[in-house]
Amino acid sequence: MNRREFLSAGAVGLGLSAKALAEQVADQKPKRVGIIGPGWYGKSDLFRLIQVSPVEVVSMCDVDKQMLSQAAEMVAARQASKKTPRLYGDYREMLKEKDLDICIVDTPDHWHALPMIAAVQAGADVWVQKPISVDVVEGQSMLAAARKYGRVVQVGTQRRSTPHLMEARDQIIRDGKLGKVGLVEIYSYGGGGGGQDPPETEPPANLDYEMWTGPAPMRPFIRGKHPRGWRSYMEYGNGTLGDMGIHMFDMTRWFLDLGWPKRISSSGGILVKTGRKANITDTQTVIFDYDALKVVWQHRYWGGPAPDPKYPWGATLYGDKGTLKASVFSYDFTPVGQGQAIHKDVTYELDKYPEDNTEPQLEKHCAPAIRGHMRDFLGAIATRGKPVADIEQGHISTACCILGNVAQQLGRTLAWDVDAGRVAGDDEANRLLRRPYRQPWVHPEPGRV
């Protein structure tokens, strides 16, 4: 995408004229970008940014030296300057330079809060992956830091920028084709791995496992935990609800303009895949109660296929005039009674971005959504406005998933007090809103960022 195309696309997304947006950014030099965590999705996000804007990637940080050097070679080949970025093993050293316009945080989940807060303190606008935090107080602190330092923060819940889902929201939901929606089912079926646990072993020489663990509890290294297997352990994330569920819950909130639910309840556990080191639930049902609307999450990592094999991970919105099924791959609208069904598939854009065809591990169906999300982020930076997945929206979606896990742990319904930022009348639940940090790392607090 050239500069003129970027300006036009950003202007449309922000409701500005191309001329107005051009005037705001015409004299700007390419944004200086740093990334913390250029692994699987870190590279996916970074390379989409390079595709839509003439940025200069100047700094990269990772605790895995091998992963870092490989990513740096790919960046040097991709960016216009062909320069190799500076490389760091500690994000604090990278951010000391205070020379970044944009910082991308694509670490494992337990490492989102501290680097994001440090990046806004260093003057950067931030892209941070979902879920934004592993506990609620982390998220509150991240929101407070973004507002205190006046930084734009976009969360990687890119369903809000997925072309066919934007169409579904505008032409199906907002156009009134569903009528009154009383129930939304969100779900993920299948996956979860199988077989025997990989053995405990010494960390590979290229990995600084002490730094990788950071504020999380120190556990023996298990082959397969790094780089992507960490999602199977609650020490580093929020389970399937916080990994897959947050996407569909956030999409639902965006579809229907929902804020915080009144109550959250949950049941489930490790019901089938027992005796494993992995400690995330293999089965879970969560009810996000909005009084006249119920949003129900369910995941199952065992048994047969999804009830609808076309939608193993998605959302079904039930209205009195019709039903909408939506996923990263498509949407299907079915009217009640007479009327026309509507189907739409994902847009790939492979003809426009042929490099997507050969990029290792890229989820090609997500690439257009990430590009759109990056354009929205850049547009918000230009206007100093809020992006479509502003940190506050990311905090709400993340915190609700965390509360779902807390509700299951305690075996009772939680009522959320929005104004107090606490669970109403439940001291035990409120103690679980902040995870213990391993020394010497210090847990962030909203009033001390």
CATH number at residue 138: 3.40.50.720
For residue 304, the model assigns a pLDDT of 84
For residue 264, the model assigns a pLDDT of 98
For residue 40, the model assigns a pLDDT of 93
Same domain, 375 and 344: no
Q: How many alpha carbons fall within 13 Å on the CB side of residue 58? A: 16
Same domain, 243 and 338: yes
Distance of CA 240 to CAs 63, 208, 237, 421, 436, Å?
Answer: 25, 26, 9, 24, 21
For residue 192, the model assigns a pLDDT of 54
Same domain, 223 and 320: yes
Q: Exposed, middle or buried by CB within 10 Å (0-12, 13-18, 19+), for 263?
A: middle
For residue 199, the model assigns a pLDDT of 87
Listed residues 376, 391, 406: the one ending a domain: 391
For residue 128, the model assigns a pLDDT of 98
pLDDT averaged over consecutive 10-residue blocks of the chain (449 residues)?
47 50 62 97 98 98 98 97 98 98 98 98 98 98 98 98 98 98 96 70 96 97 89 96 98 98 98 92 98 98 92 98 98 96 97 96 97 98 98 98 98 98 98 98 98
Same domain, 156 and 57: yes
Same domain, 150 and 123: yes
Cis bond before residue 440 (omega within 30° of 0): yes
As for how many domains the chain has, the answer is 2
For residue 15, the model assigns a pLDDT of 52
For residue 3, the model assigns a pLDDT of 44
Listed residues 342, 372, 391: the one ending a domain: 391
Same domain, 103 and 73: yes
Same domain, 438 and 310: yes
For residue 224, the model assigns a pLDDT of 81
Measured CA to CA, the distance from residue 346 to residue 107 in angstroms comes to 27
Same domain, 124 and 181: no
Same domain, 311 and 210: yes
Same domain, 89 and 130: yes
Same domain, 152 and 173: no
CATH of the domain at 319: 3.30.360.10
Same domain, 170 and 45: no
**For residue 342, what are the domain limits?**
163-351+396-448
